Amino acid sequence: MQDDLSGKQVKGLRMLSLLSPTVAFALVTFSLGELGDGLNIFQGIYLVGIGWNEGSVGTALSLMGLTSLLVQTFAGDWVDKTTIDRRKFLVAASIVTALSALMIMFVREGNQDHMLIFISKVIEGVASSFIGPCIAALTLATFGPDHFDRVMASNILWGHIGSVIAAVLAGLLAYFLYPDIKYSFLVIGFSALVAIVFIPFLPEGDPNMGRGFSGKAMVDPDGNEIVQKDDKDGPRELQIDTTGHPEATDYSIVFSDRKTLVLCATGF
């Protein structure tokens, strides 16, 4: 049993070593960027084309963004506090987001099936709100605060590139498959599949460092391990919760700071 477990660990390490952490994050964010907003603009045009009125289309397209805006804060808090591997959340969020976006393929012609799209857009907004916090937490857990900005900038860049590629692919498929343009939305499902393939290559990193606490080790963008040095003033004492994990400062204390409250309220 011990030998079998060691073999699995060695196999996992070999798989992870095939890609540098930076490349793995770039591939995942590129694929998730292709998920984007579910090709909302294309979906809106398609719905108008099959008989929906403009008001219903506007409502459908705004539901995802509004839901994501309302849920993202709570999603980030949950991702921050969870002890479950964040890569599992990322896989689940990718699958649910893609499946929800693909519900448009089941809409019948005419001004009907509104609730199918409305509900799927709400679910899509909830699921997609977990993607950003998971990527940010995994990036911080892997690279630490010293390289976080650089790698996150790369992640965002590749996400935008993925969004552009998805739009181009969907447009080409719609052109060649016309009039059955609904099959162009299969790009969303393919993007989710690619993301799921590459998510296991992401390092889990130090979960506590992913929450903003001090970590023991991290890697640089080239994949070289860096051992975290202790502060000159010695290690900070952390409050431990009932599960044995570090406990972050309560939100009431954070927002009691006037500058923090102003920054959060204004969005800067």
In tens digits, the chain (268 residues) has pLDDT values of 444 444 444 444 445 556 788 888 999 999 888 666 657 778 888 888 888 888 888 898 888 888 888 888 888 888 888 878 889 889 998 898 888 888 888 888 888 888 999 999 899 888 888 998 899 889 988 888 888 888 899 999 999 898 888 888 888 988 898 888 888 888 888 888 888 889 988 888 777 776 766 656 556 555 555 555 555 444 444 444 445 555 666 666 766 777 777 776 775 4
Do 243 and 126 share a structural domain?
Answer: no
- Which residue, among 5, 18, 7, 74, has the nearest Cα to 197 in the 3D structure? 18
Do 260 and 205 share a structural domain?
Answer: no
Q: How far apart are CA 213 and CA 194, in angstroms?
A: 32
Count CB-CB contacts under 10 A for residue 196.
17
Residues 6+ away with beta carbon under 8 Å from 28: 90, 135, 195, 198, 199, 201, 202
Report in angstroms the alpha-carbon separations of 13 from 19, 202, 223, 226: 11, 11, 13, 18
Domain count, the chain: 2
Determine contact, residues 221/231, Cβ cutoff 8 Å: no
- Residue 115: alpha-carbon gap to chain centroid: 26
Do 125 and 80 share a structural domain?
Answer: yes
Termini Cα distance of the chain: 53
The answer to whether residue 220 is domain-embedded is: no
The answer to whether residue 2 is domain-embedded is: no
Sign of CA dihedral 179, 182, 187, 189: negative
Do 251 and 183 share a structural domain?
Answer: no
Six-digit token string for 36? 């984007």
- Which residue, among 166, 204, 210, has the nearest Cα to 185 in the 3D structure? 166
Do 168 and 138 share a structural domain?
Answer: yes
pTM for the model = 0.77
Length of the chain counted residue by residue: 268
The H helix count followed by the E strand count for the chain is 11, 2
The answer to whether residue 90 is domain-embedded is: yes
Do 253 and 204 share a structural domain?
Answer: no
Do 160 and 113 share a structural domain?
Answer: yes
- Which residue, among 30, 6, 267, 60, has the nearest Cα to 158 in the 3D structure? 30
205: left (phi over 0), alpha (psi -120 to 50) or beta: left
Do 152 and 256 share a structural domain?
Answer: no
Do 243 and 134 share a structural domain?
Answer: no
The answer to whether residue 223 is domain-embedded is: no
Do 242 and 162 share a structural domain?
Answer: no
**Domain of 95?**
19-210
Determine contact, residues 163/35, Cβ cutoff 8 Å: no
The answer to whether residue 14 is domain-embedded is: no
Do 239 and 132 share a structural domain?
Answer: no
Whichever domain contains 82, its CATH number is: 1.20.1250.20
- The reported pLDDT for the residue numbered 220 is 55
Q: How far apart are CA 26 and CA 201, in angstroms?
A: 11
The answer to whether residue 215 is domain-embedded is: no
The answer to whether residue 7 is domain-embedded is: no
Determine contact, residues 156/29, Cβ cutoff 8 Å: yes
Phi/psi of residue 227, nearest 5 degrees:
-85, 125
The answer to whether residue 4 is domain-embedded is: no
Do 173 and 40 share a structural domain?
Answer: yes
